[in-house]
Structure formats: C-alpha cells, structure tokens
Amino acid sequence: MLHFLPLPRKADLNAPFPVAPFLSTVSFSTALYLSLLALPRVGILVAMFSGVPLVLAQLQFPTQLLGTGAMVTSGGLIFLLGSLLHNPIPGLQVLIYVGWCGLPALLTAEFLRRQVRVLPMVFATSFQILFFLGGVGFFLYMKTHGQIWTGIAQSIHGAVDVVMNTAIKNSHSTLSPADQARLISLEPLIYRTFLDLLPGLFASLALLTAITLWATSVGLLENRQISPGQPGIDRWVLPDHLVFALIASMALLLVPSFEMRVLGTNLLMVFGVLYVGQGTGVLLSYVRKRKLGGWFWLVSGIFILIQPMFLMILGLVGVIDIWADFRELRGKPTGGNGSGEKGRYVEKKMDDLSDGDGSHRDSFRTFSLCELIRGSRLLGAFRGSASLRGEIRPA
C-alpha cells in the first residue's frame, strides 16, 4: 500500500528516493489497467482507477516527480505484458494508458495542488483525454490512409450482427420469418446510430474518468486525515442552472429528426455523467452519515460492474437532489456564485473555521446556523466568523 504522508510544503532535494511507494504505485496502476485487456467489458470501469495511484504519488512526492516516473514505468510494463499476451498492437495500449490514465492523473494532481475548482478541473482533464486520444486516432488514420477506421467499422458491424442474431435466437417467443427479416433490416440503422453516438460515448467516458480521478484521490486523502484543500464529492454541488442543459438535450429527443435525436442523445450522455457524479456524492454522504463499512462499497462496486445501468439510477438521484437537497448544502440563492461548490467566499469561511485537521463539516454546520439566526448570509458570515474563531480551539 502507499504510505500516506502530509503534503510537503518545501522541496527537500537531499531526501532519499521513495522506492516502496514507487513500486506500489507502478504495480497498482499497471494491474488496474491490465484488467482492460483481460476483461474488456468490466475492465473499462476498473481501468479508470489506474490513474489514482499516480495522483497520490505525485502529490506526496512532487520533488522526485514520483507520479511521472511511475507512469513511464507502468507504460513500459504494459508494453511488455501486452507483447507477452499477444496483443496485436501493444504500443497502442501504451498510448491509451498515457492519454486516458497517466496524463490526466498528473493534471489532476497539479490541479489539486493549486486548489482549482472542481468543475473547471473536471472539464480540463476530460478535454485533455479527448485531445490526446483524438490526436492519436487522427495520426493513425492518416498513417494508415483510413484503413484503421475501416477495420474498426467492420468490427462494429460484426458486433452488431452478432448481437442481432443472438437476440433472435434467445427470443422468448418464436419469431416468424417475416419478423426476423424485419429485425435484420434494422441492422444498418443500428450500425449507423452506434457510429453517430461514438462522440457522446467518448466524451462521457472522459468526464467519468476525470470525476473518478478527482473524487477517489480526494476521498483517500481525507481518510488519512490529509486535507486536500477542497471539498470532496460528498459535498460537491453542480450549478442549478445546468439542469436546463439536461432538459434541452432531452427535448431534442422529441424532435422528429434523426440528426437532432442523435445530437440530443450525445448531449444527454455528457450531462448525465455530471449528474451521476452528483448522485454518487449523495450516496457517499448517506454512507458516511450511516457509517456503513467497506462491505457496502464492495457490494455496490460488484453491482455496477455487473450492470452499469445502475449509473442511471445515480444520475436520477443527482437530478432529484436539485430540488430535494438530500445533503442540505444549498442555502439561499444569494449564497452561491454558480460555480457548483458554494463559492470561494464560503470555502474561505470554512477554512477560517477549520479546527486544523482538515475537517470542515461541523464548522460549516455552525456557519449555516449563524446565517439563519441573523437573517442575512453576508452579514451573518462576517459577524459569525469573529465569534466562532474564539470558540473553536484545536484539540
């Protein structure tokens, strides 16, 4: 396991190289990513976590650039093991690892160090994933004169054909030859629709990876009593007006046009992932309040790996949270600045009221009480901070 240490304030050039954290980072990151090669359907959700060890290593040992060195070493191991497993293009697997897991992890670590707001950090990290992998795809397309896309299209067409034949064979009722012919005639439409939905699938995967890297890293740091300098996913709130973009994307599905419906579906997948993150925050807040053990996360992870449709339930919970406010984080409309994290002013007040161990929950609850008593958020904040600073003492 990684040795969690307080984030260093000053660089120590004479410090010995942390061999044990380096080896554990390389082994964990490589093993998580190789699940994508062993079990592609389940491994794609497991491989998203392969950048988390790199984030923690880069944060704890920035002078030695431990996360960067671990990323390079893991890439070499992936190339070697991919060759031993007779992967057709092991070099491509290395590029996918670097662009999907490695570089986003280093970018997330730098954003956490600079205490960048969550929503800009998530968008920037996901854009980096799309830009890097899109550049790799464009380079391979030009290098192979379009043959790589032809091969991918043929593979997708073959997969659609297998799915259609399997659905016909496993049908509960016997289909007549006319019904079978009608289903087979839909195969070109399904193939075209899947190709048109690829941009939304890749964008939602990039967003989900960025949220996973940030939320898991912050959660692990908080469990070791290390303050990451920003709220975790259990206190993450999206801007309320973002729901109108989600509603607009759903409205496009009602337009009697194939192109508009495809556009609406792509946008719905992208905005839906954001509300999956908010729904996960609601679930995590409930789990911490009820003090459920690690078995809960084990069972939940197995359910999500077996049936990823459970992510839709989390997304629905995230949307309902706009009105239900399950975590009671939303105050009056004047309290936020539309950033989705209660504004820098509130974050600063939480830092002032902190008791020194990175715990802001009790302070935030007391701060909200002062606002309700005084009737004005701004006036209550200035008056409450002066009185509360004298009441809260380090343990």
Indicate the SS3 state at residue 259. Answer: helix
* Arithmetic mean of pLDDT, 273-284: 92
Look up residue 97 and give its two tokens: 């690892």
How many angstroms separate the CA atoms of 66 and 61, rounded? Answer: 6
Position 388 pLDDT exceeds 50: no
CB distance 352 to 392 below 8 Å: no
How many angstroms separate the CA atoms of 178 and 331, rounded? Answer: 60
Quote the pLDDT of residue 111. 94
Which residues, 6+ apart, have CB-to-CB distance to 4 below 8 Å? 56, 60, 220, 221, 224, 226
Which residues, 6+ apart, have CB-to-CB distance to 93 below 8 Å? 37, 78, 79, 82, 87
% of the chain beyond a pLDDT of 90: 39
Of 93, 87, 89, 123, which is closest to residue 30 (Cα–Cα)?
Answer: 93
* Arithmetic mean of pLDDT, 303-323: 84
CA max distance for the chain: 81
How many angstroms separate the CA atoms of 279 and 158, rounded? Answer: 36
Residue 14 — very low, low, confident or very high, per pLDDT cuts 50/70/90?
low
For 69-83, 91-105, 167-181, 344-358, which range has the lowest pLDDT when averaged over its residues?
344-358
Quote the pLDDT of residue 294. 65
Look up residue 89 and give its two tokens: 């293009």
Name the more confident of 390 and 61: 61
CB distance 86 to 139 below 8 Å: no
The amino acid at 350: M
Of 236, 238, 309, which is closest to residue 271 (Cα–Cα)?
Answer: 238
How many angstroms separate the CA atoms of 266 and 22, rounded? Answer: 39
Q: What is the pLDDT of residues 192-221, one digit of tens each?
A: 888 899 999 999 999 999 999 999 999 899
Task: Kindly report the pTM of this predicted structure.
Answer: 0.76
How many angstroms separate the CA atoms of 260 and 196, rounded? Answer: 11
Position 258 pLDDT exceeds 80: yes
Q: What is the pLDDT of residues 282-300, one digit of tens each?
A: 988 888 888 776 677 777 7
Residue 12 — very low, low, confident or very high, per pLDDT cuts 50/70/90?
low
Residue 15 — very low, low, confident or very high, per pLDDT cuts 50/70/90?
low
Quote the pLDDT of residue 154. 80
Of 133, 107, 131, which is closest to residue 121 (Cα–Cα)?
Answer: 107
